[in-house]
Amino acid sequence: MDCIFCKIVEGTIPSKKVFENEYVVAFHDIQPAAPVHILIIPKKHIPTMNDVSDEDAAVIAEIFKAARTIAKEQGIAENGYRLINNCNADGGQVVYHLHIHLLGGEKLGPLLSK
């Protein structure tokens, strides 16, 4: 499958990984929009939020658990951060492998500015 994030999961495309477990991988966004900009993705190829099924409940929980852990590790938990999922064209999704943006490290602008 020609999916850039699946290739990051497999390790055939390099990334600056900050977290990995059985379910998820997290790595620095290649074009950071904030001092901390990390993408958290399921290892399973799920194209968009619309494709999440009831069987994916554990994976989704792992994404949010990873976000909490990474925010703490990055030293931004107390000051705060933002989690974003872009879904399909109107949401601005570019890579069609589910991912959550973890943004922080500064006071972010109004909601949804990037």
Binding site residues, ligand AMP, CB under 6 A: 4, 13, 15, 29-31, 39, 86, 92-95
50-57's contacts with Cβ under 8 Å and 24+ in sequence apart are 50/87, 50/88, 51/98, 52/98
Smallest separation (angstroms) from ligand AMP to the CB of 31? 4
- The residue among 24 and 34 lying less far from Zn ion, judged by its C-beta, is 24
User: Is residue 95 a contact residue for Zn ion (CB under 5 A)?
Assistant: no
- DSSP string of 14-46, one letter each residue: ---EEEE-SSEEEEE-SS-SSSEEEEEEESS--
Interface positions, 21-50, toward Zn ion (CB under 5 A): 45
**Is residue 102 within 8 Å of 81, Cβ to Cβ?**
yes
- The residue among 51 and 106 lying less far from Zn ion, judged by its C-beta, is 51
> Which residue ranges make up the site for Zn ion (CB under 5 A)?
3, 5-6, 45, 97
